Amino acid sequence: MTRQTILITGCSTGIGRAIAEYFHFKGWNVAATMRKPELETGLAKLENVRCIRLDVLSEPTINEAIAETISLFGSVDVVVNNAGYGLIGPFESTTREQARAQFETNVFGVMNVTRAILPFFRERRKGVIINIASAGGRMTWPLYSLYHGTKWALEGFTEGLHYELRQFNIRLKIIEPGSIMTDFFGRSQEVASAHADQKYEEYVNRVMPNLQKAGADAPPPEVVGPVVYRAATDNSWRLRYQAGRAGGFVMFLRRVLPTRVFNGVVRLVVERKSDRLKRYRAEA
């Protein structure tokens, strides 16, 4: 049986790394791309896994990564757009540069990779593009307005594009993880530059412990791999898949509750005072 090949962006840590490991376990060829593959040691030791340089903001590296993957493995069957990060803080505290960088990576980076792979998939008349969005692409938390903006944009882009590409037998998939215990709450998170602005200080100090608790209590990134595998292999035109125990439940509530009621639930969860507040203040 011919091995299938998957190319994944953002594989150095977290969800991207977990997806690469799962597809390796399932016997696929894996192009695990990242900005600095020379620093990777674990994935590079796995059979039929190649760590390849790809920066989603650099079109030359995208084209080179696709070409190298095809040269190594003979083809690309599935592309997973996973690379991204979260900008957190009051919107007023963010700079124009921070806002632009958030959209460049989380939205335009996905578009760059998608644009590059489409000619290959279209010529073959088959292929799967899987975009890692978020439950935060259809609901919101406070202090993540720009991050949510990118994920809502990604949802709309993917859903709109799936109409255009069906004629070429190219399937579009959206994965919507809930909170996942990754370094999204650490290395992959950027804090707005004026985070300590006094206008928002009391609100930030009240909300942040609850948001951080959601990350600390979340399942590990390994729960996402099987969901991505199902999306890649089910041969259906299904568009959305939830991952993580909270993802499906939150989407159910979003679907059945009036917006006013759902937003009230969010406020109840994240704006309540917490016994973690003193600890957060001490660490801030």
Query: CB neighbours (10 Å) of residue 189?
Result: 17
- Give, in order, the Cα–Cα distances in Å from 60 to each of 24, 36, 112, 136: 27, 15, 10, 31
CA distance 179 to 218: 6
Cβ atoms of 177 and 224 closer than 8 Å: yes
Cβ atoms of 147 and 106 closer than 8 Å: yes
Determine whether 147 is an active site residue. yes
The helix-helix angle for 145-165 and 96-103 (nearest 10°) equals: 30
Q: Where are the alpha helices (DSSP H) in 166-236?
A: 201-216, 224-233
Amino acid (one-letter) located at 59:
E
Q: From the CA atom positions of the chain, what is the Rg in Å?
A: 19
Structure tokens at 191: 């804090």
From the candidates 85, 147, 229, 280, give the one annotated as an active-site residue.
147
- Contacts of 37-42 spanning 24+ positions with Cβ under 8 A: 39/12, 40/11, 40/12
CA distance 26 to 29: 9
Cβ atoms of 176 and 138 closer than 8 Å: yes
Amino acid (one-letter) located at 6:
I
CA distance 86 to 95: 14
Residues with a known catalytic role = 147
